[in-house]
Structure 1
Amino acid sequence: MIGVLERLWRYPVKSMQGECVERLPIDGRGAVGDRLHAVRDEAGKFGSGKDTRRFRRIDGLFRFRARYEGEVPVVGFPDGRLVAGDDPRIHEALSRELGLPVTLAREEAVSHLDAGPLHLVTTSGLEALGLEGRDEQRFRPNLVVRSAGAGFVEEGWIGRRIRVGEEVVVEIAGRTERCVMVGFPQAELPAAPGLLRKLAAAREACFGVYARVVVPGVVRVGDRLRFAEAGDGGREAV
């Protein structure tokens, strides 16, 4: 055993606060429903904390929270209002709150994901950075693993296949490069303006790892992680 699932997260709307869940279905795309929706501007770019070819920095998204009711995302506004993603008023409400014309869009041909299907961090890595458990939210992981070792053990898993619980097998693909979003205030967490500089100096601005899904299934809090044995991954995700 190399660790135990401590917490599971998914983010129904990209760059909004997500929901902590007890069980999480996993398919070839990643955590089912994760970042499946995004705020989209008139140019077709998706709201994020950074500017890229696909994404546009839209400040204020972290002040919103999203959760699922069935397959419908429900957006919690900063003033406490709840508006369902299938309510036709959601687009106007988001535009007014953010100060620019946007719509809430479901993923189509262009992926909302940054660089990998699943994102994993370890409690030992957080501790090595001198961070508290609640600080995991700054890094927006899907899987938080209480690892058996100390330090950034997840980096030693790169290239390895890992069985999570009884069903899911993932392959650790590489380190996760961080951006300015890690220092943004969110939920009960204050701003941490020096965090990215700290990561840049100590970890080449990387923390956590991405994983691709080899065998889909369902993972649950308390599931154990172990290196996959020969033959694991017979029904690979597509």
Structure 2
Amino acid sequence: MARAHARQWLDEGGMARRRTMTAFGRITEIWRYPISSMGGERLDGTELAQGGIPGDRIWGIIDRRDGTVAAPEKRKHWRPLPNLVARLKGDRPEIGLNGSWIDAGSTLAGELVSAFLDFPAALHPHVRFGSEAQDHIAPRYQRADIHIVTSASMNRLAGLLEDPSQVDSRRFRPNVVI
């Protein structure tokens, strides 16, 4: 149900301004994905900063054989990757595997991800577009600051499928579900 809310503020000249905003839904899920293409962590709340949710998609994974960046939606050998989960501890991601959490920058993390995928892989921090740094990788695409999906969209998609249980918000890797 939509509800209208009025906000007032003073502009630069000290004049009172008023804007009406309409609420159109309620946030039901908040997610952060510290490592691109991997599963993420569900949050109870978060700050929203310039650039999106802090710590979201800040690292990536490459195939050490050819240097390509993970693309589970395009290449079959990456498809198991979303089954691994990552969380943020401080300002560094950790990978969850077999009930343990391992620092993503450790040698062990690279070895475990390689064993999980059955080919040599490496984890590295992302660099922003237009900048360069050693031991960093560029993301495959310039991402939006925040990814939002609605339950209405997921329900519509579920209605089109023979098996509606396939529609899970995590499949779309959103930051916010409304």
TM-score (norm 1): 0.52
In structure 2, the residue matched to 1:121 is 149
Shift of 1:107: 0.3
Cα RMSD for the two superposed structures = 2.5
Letter paired with 2:72: G
Tell whether 2:68 aligns with 1:45: yes
- Aligned partners of 1:56, 1:117: CA distance in 2, in Å? 27
Letter paired with 2:151: T
Unaligned runs of 5+ in 2: 1-22, 132-137, 159-163
Tell whether 2:172 aligns with 1:142: no
Tell whether 2:80 aligns with 1:70: no
SS in 1 for 2:70: strand
Q: 1:45·1:56 contact (CA, 8 Å) conserved in 2?
A: no
Q: Per-residue CA shift, 1:98-148, capped at 9, x if unaligned?
A: 12111111001423556422111111222223357x711111111111xxx
- Aligned partners of 1:17, 1:114: CA distance in 2, in Å? 19
In structure 1, the residue matched to 2:99 is 80
- Aligned partners of 2:78, 2:118: CA distance in 1, in Å? 10
Shift of 1:21: 0.5
Q: 1:36·1:112 contact (CA, 8 Å) conserved in 2?
A: no
TM-score (norm 2): 0.68
In structure 1, the residue matched to 2:116 is 97
Shift of 1:27: 2.9
Rate the CA distance shift 1:57–1:46 in 2: closer, same or farther, 3 A.
farther
- The percent identity for this pair of structures is 27
Aligned length in residues: 141
In structure 2, the residue matched to 1:225 is none
SS in 1 for 2:73: coil
- Aligned partners of 1:113, 1:65: CA distance in 2, in Å? 21
- Aligned partners of 1:129, 1:16: CA distance in 2, in Å? 23
Letter paired with 1:12: P
Task: Give 1:141-180 correspondences, 5 Å limit.
Answer: 141-145=174-178
- Aligned partners of 1:126, 1:92: CA distance in 2, in Å? 36
SS in 1 for 2:27: strand
Q: 1:8·1:20 contact (CA, 8 Å) conserved in 2?
A: yes
SS in 2 for 1:4: coil
In structure 2, the residue matched to 1:3 is 25
- Aligned partners of 1:129, 1:96: CA distance in 2, in Å? 35
> What stretches of structure 1 move > 4 A for 4+ residues in a row?
112-115
Greater strand proportion: 1
In structure 2, the residue matched to 1:33 is 55
Q: 1:37·1:112 contact (CA, 8 Å) conserved in 2?
A: no
Rate the CA distance shift 1:96–1:128 in 2: closer, same or farther, 3 A.
closer
Unaligned runs of 5+ in 1: 146-238
Shift of 1:5: 1.5
Q: Per-residue CA shift, 1:66-120, capped at 9, x if unaligned?
A: 111111211012x334211132322222222212111111001423556422111
In structure 2, the residue matched to 1:58 is 78
- Aligned partners of 1:70, 1:113: CA distance in 2, in Å? 26
